[in-house]
């Protein structure tokens, strides 16, 4: 089902500066995290775990089956059949929101290996399971369908940094595809 949602045009001339692009992405992530009640990641488990460590991965996704479990072996069998990525969904709480904010950011502070490089796609979902923000290809492509108040807050925040509103474009797409 196609819907009209918004798209952050990261190729816009106003976002050529890595700092401005990172700011715009972070403003959207923050708004999505405020609206989200859960998240879904499609990721390379082994590489992400190496990048962030098993303790951080467990804090972020406590429901992720432990390596060697029956569920983990089923996921490995699926990977052998052609899908090399895990998909996992968890509820958001303040601690997970902060971890996710850090992992999905363009600021690789504190990590030797940039975690976002091991996350193929992310989705923040509202209380009814609708996608409010979707990032793909290490957040190089961001779609969002935020409530109007949050969208206005993002636009104001961008404007205060001298980033024009036209970095955000309307697009018709199936926002749920691929998550």
Q: Report H helices in the chain.
A: 18-35, 45-52, 54-60, 70-80, 94-103, 148-160
User: Would you place residue 82 in the very low, low, confident or very high pLDDT band (cuts 50, 70, 90)?
Assistant: low
18-54 residue pLDDT tens: 999 999 999 999 999 999 999 999 999 999 999 999 9
The number of folded domains in the chain is 1
Q: Would residue 178 count as lying in a domain?
A: no
**137 within domain boundaries:** yes
Q: How far apart are CA 89 and CA 52, in angstroms?
A: 18
pLDDT score of 176 more than 70: no
Has residue 74 been placed in a domain? yes
Q: Does residue 56 sit within a domain?
A: yes
Enter the pTM of the model. 0.86
Query: Residue 86 is inside which H or E element, if any?
Result: strand 86-91
* Residue with the two structure tokens 């996921």: 75
CA 89, 57, 144, 29 dihedral sign is positive
Beta strands 141-144 and 168-173 are unpaired
Residue 85's domain comprises 3-173
Task: Tell me whether residue 33 is in a domain.
Answer: yes
The answer, yes or no, to whether residue 178 has pLDDT greater than 60, is no
- 104 or 81: which carries more pLDDT confidence? 104
Check residue 161 and give its pLDDT. 96
Q: Is residue 77 assigned to a domain?
A: yes
Distance CA 60, CA 42 (A): 14
pLDDT tens digits, 116-163: 889 999 999 999 999 999 998 777 788 899 999 999 999 999 999 999
Predicted local distance difference test score (pLDDT) of residue 110: 78
Structure tokens of 112? 């030797």
| Rg over CA atoms, the chain | 16
In a domain, 179, yes or no: no
4 or 177: whose pLDDT is higher? 4
Domain presence at residue 79: yes
């Amino acid at each position: 089902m196609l819907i009209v949602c918004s798209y952050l045009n990261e190729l816009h001339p106003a976002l050529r500066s890595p700092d401005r692009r990172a700011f715009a992405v972070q403003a959207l992530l923050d708004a999505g995290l405020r609206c989200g009640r859960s998240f879904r990641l499609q990721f390379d488990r082994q590489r992400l775990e190496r990048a962030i460590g098993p303790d951080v991965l467990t804090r972020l996704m406590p429901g992720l089956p432990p390596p060697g479990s029956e569920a983990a072996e089923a996921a490995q069998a699926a990977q052998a059949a052609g899908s090399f990525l895990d998909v996992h969904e968890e509820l958001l709480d303040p601690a997970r929101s902060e971890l996710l904010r850090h992992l999905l950011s363009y600021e690789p502070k504190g990590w030797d290996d940039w975690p976002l490089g091991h996350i193929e796609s992310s989705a923040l979902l509202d209380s009814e399971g609708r996608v409010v923000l979707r990032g793909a290809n290490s957040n190089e492509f961001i779609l969002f369908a935020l409530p109007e108040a949050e969208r206005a807050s993002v636009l104001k925040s961008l404007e205060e940094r001298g980033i024009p509103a036209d970095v955000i474009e309307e697009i018709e797409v199936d926002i749920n595809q691929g998550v």
